[in-house]
């Protein structure tokens, strides 16, 4: 069974803000996937982070997974509102998180998938649900281990993300990328 990796919009934006979606693509190694709602969020974020405009055409996250079953849509809506605090008057608020959580937990072919997010509430909930999670820092550690980046370069890249206003867990030093 293939282990799919679902980066959420926070992760996509982290890499886009430093113009390194190529690095994210490489680290995902053809296993990246996204939901229709995350694709929509990324298209909205592209207004400020133009590298995100290329994602649909490049296709390395696959076709956005669309949920069409009415019963599943209702269950996702309950997750969106009860778990993530989405409001009735903002129907797309936290929809990407709810869809991703639902898909990984409920669709048998995605049960081994990983959720990649830097959203603290999403991380806590996913871990509570037994979903394997990773953060941007973990992806950069993988890039270091794979020889795509030196430790110092990974550290500097994360500092640039933070300087761009991205909220993510930062390493204390380049040494944290040693594994």
Gyration radius of the chain over CA positions: 16
Buried b (16+ CB within 10 A) or exposed e, 77-113: bebbbebbebeeeeeebbbbbbbbbbbbeeeeebeeb
Q: Is residue 77 part of a domain?
A: yes
- Lookup: tokens for 81: 């509102």
| Phi, psi torsion values for 132, nearest 5 degrees | -70, 130
What CATH number corresponds to the domain at position 13? 3.40.50
Q: Is residue 174 part of a domain?
A: no
User: What is the spatial distance between Cα 32 and Cα 99, in angstroms, rounded to a whole number?
Assistant: 15
| Tens of pLDDT, residue by residue, the chain (179 residues) | 469 999 999 999 999 999 999 999 999 999 999 999 999 999 999 999 999 999 999 999 999 999 999 999 999 999 999 988 888 899 889 999 999 999 999 999 999 999 999 998 889 999 999 999 999 999 999 999 999 999 999 999 999 999 999 999 999 999 998 76
Whole-model pTM: value is: 0.94
- To the nearest whole number, what is the mean pLDDT of the chain? 94
- What's the domain count of the chain? 1
- Lookup: tokens for 122: 């999403």
Q: Is residue 123 part of a domain?
A: yes
Q: Is residue 107 part of a domain?
A: yes
What range defines the domain where residue 108 resides?
Answer: 5-135
Listing DSSP states for 46-63 in one string gives: TTT-GGGGGHHHH-TT-S
């Amino acid at each position: 069974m293939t282990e799919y990796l679902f980066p959420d919009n926070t992760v996509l934006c982290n890499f886009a803000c430093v113009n390194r979606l190529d690095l994210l693509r490489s680290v995902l190694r053809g296993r990246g996937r996204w939901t229709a709602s995350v694709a929509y969020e990324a298209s909205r974020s592209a207004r400020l982070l133009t590298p995100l405009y290329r994602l649909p055409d490049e296709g390395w996250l696959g076709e956005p997974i669309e949920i069409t079953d009415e019963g599943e849509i209702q269950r996702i809506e309950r997750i969106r509102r009860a778990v993530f605090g989405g409001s009735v008057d903002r129907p797309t608020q936290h929809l990407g998180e709810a869809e991703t959580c639902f898909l990984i937990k409920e669709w048998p072919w995605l049960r081994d998938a990983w959720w990649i997010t830097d959203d603290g509430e999403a991380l806590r909930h996913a871990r509570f649900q037994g979903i394997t999670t990773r953060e941007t820092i973990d992806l950069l550690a993988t890039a270091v281990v794979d020889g795509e980046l030196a430790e110092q370069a990974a550290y500097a890249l994360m500092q640039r993300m933070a300087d761009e206003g991205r909220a993510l867990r930062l390493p204390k030093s380049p040494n944290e990328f040693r594994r």
